[in-house]
């Protein structure tokens, strides 16, 4: 196995003559396989290797990491072609990311590294106090995982580092799907996280993704402001994201719907920790089926929230995904009281805001309801957006008053 940070000089890789070099120079972080000269030497580079990217005239442009088995054949690590990628470089990037989050939050519970937007392509890290969950979604991050864990301990003081290898991105990079503790003791049960006045419990080893969705923090807070004295339905609840925030906001009661019994168990544990267990009910099952089953009850809720998984994870799935978002809106809208609120979310980067908004509006209209948009939300500031990369701004939340 190659060392994660080999010494300079790095080998070179070159753009095809028709590739858009200007985009790379202006900050676009990816080189697709059809833009790179894939000669025998380049194809022979091990996945995750470091190289200097040159334009078609052989002018150095950046230091990149290469994986010719991926559709994204190269990812920009540093716009300085003379940059030395090593442990010091990694610690500096982590420290910069940490400093931003520490300005935002009083407690160390947040998205610490948001991949390309934090200058660490393919690397996602969520922090849970003394523990960190790392999603190494690019080949170079897998190779450098021991150094990443060491840097986390040094820069952030974490004692436990979990590798979470689930997700579509790793499959596209040809990587495994193992979740394991790579540094320190394993978490002693679910980790308690307090946000927006609510209490959550995150399973760092067996939960979905990293165990908790920090990206919805500002949207949880806004939904909580709508929940006062209302009956609330939280669909695709996971560990109680919107529902527990609604309890903290003064909801009369909450019904949480999810297909995972384990996730609903953690949501119930959160309600118990808040002293609101009597006001928190769960329904395990398919979200579409549950919404249909609730239809005979009519408009019984002052606030309904639907936060589904990505229905359109790629461009090829876009049309089917938009139909699914429309269907969710059509099934959920009749359950909202007159003057009540419907919050609909999408984490599909392939469905931009306009397309998602259109699908939601169609579904609400087909349900015989009309509404005004009172909130358009995105991921929190610990999930920065790289302006050149639409994929980094994936989350949308729309609140309708019906």
Which residues are tagged catalytic?
347
Give 3-state DSSP helix, strand, coil % of the chain, rounded to 5: 35, 25, 40
- Count of Cβ atoms closer than 10 Å to residue 192 Cβ: 15
Secondary structure class of 174 (helix, strand, coil): coil
Element (H, E) at 202: strand 198-202
Show Cβ contacts of residue 173 under 8 Å, excluding neighbours closer than 6 positions. Answer: 47, 67, 69, 70, 122, 137, 138, 139, 142
- Kindly report the length of the chain: 402
Phi then psi for residue 259, to 5 deg, are -80, -15
Contacts of 313 (CB under 8 A, 6+ apart): 168, 321, 348, 350
Backbone angles phi, psi at 279, to 5 degrees: -105, 10
To which residue do tokens 């999930």 refer? 383
């Amino acid at each position: 196995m190659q060392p994660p940070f080999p010494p300079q000089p790095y080998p070179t890789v070159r753009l095809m003559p028709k590739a858009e070099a200007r985009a790379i120079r202006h900050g676009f972080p990816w080189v697709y396989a059809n833009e790179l000269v894939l000669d025998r030497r380049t194809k022979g580079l091990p996945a995750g290797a470091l190289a200097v990217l040159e334009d078609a005239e052989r002018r150095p442009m950046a230091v990149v990491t290469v994986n010719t088995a991926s559709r994204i054949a190269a990812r920009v690590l540093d716009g300085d072609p003379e940059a030395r990628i090593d442990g010091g470089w990694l610690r500096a990037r982590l420290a910069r990311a940490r400093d931003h989050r520490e300005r935002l939050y009083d407690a160390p519970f947040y998205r610490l590294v948001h991949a390309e937007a934090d200058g660490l392509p393919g690397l996602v890290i969520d922090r849970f106090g003394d523990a960190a969950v790392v999603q190494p979604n690019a080949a170079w991050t897998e190779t450098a995982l021991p150094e990443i864990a060491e840097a986390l301990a040094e820069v952030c003081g974490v004692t436990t580092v979990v590798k979470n290898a689930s997700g579509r991105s790793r499959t596209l990079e040809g990587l495994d799907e193992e979740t394991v503790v790579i540094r320190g003791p394993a978490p002693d049960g679910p980790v308690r996280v307090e946000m927006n006045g609510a209490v959550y419990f995150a399973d760092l080893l067996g939960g979905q993704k990293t165990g908790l969705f920090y990206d919805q923090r500002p949207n949880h807070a806004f939904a909580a402001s709508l929940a006062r004295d209302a009956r609330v339905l939280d669909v695709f609840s996971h560990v109680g994201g919107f529902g527990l925030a609604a309890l903290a906001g003064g909801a009369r009661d909450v019904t949480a719907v999810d297909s995972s019994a384990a996730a609903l168990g953690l949501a119930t544990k959160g309600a118990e920790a808040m002293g609101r267990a009597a006001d928190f009910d769960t329904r395990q099952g398919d979200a579409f089926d549950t919404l249909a089953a609730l239809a005979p009850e009519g408009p019984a809720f002052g606030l309904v929230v639907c936060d589904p998984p990505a229905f359109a994870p790629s461009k090829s799935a876009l049309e089917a995904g938009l139909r699914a978002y429309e269907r969710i809106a059509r099934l959920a809208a009749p359950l909202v009281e007159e003057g009540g609120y419907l919050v609909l979310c999408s984490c599909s980067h392939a469905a931009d805001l306009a397309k998602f908004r259109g699908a939601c509006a169609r579904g609400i209209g087909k349900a015989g309801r009309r509404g005004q948009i009172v909130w358009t939300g995105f991921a929190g500031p610990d999930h920065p957006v790289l302006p050149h990369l639409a994929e980094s701004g994936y989350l949308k939340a729309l609140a309708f008053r019906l």
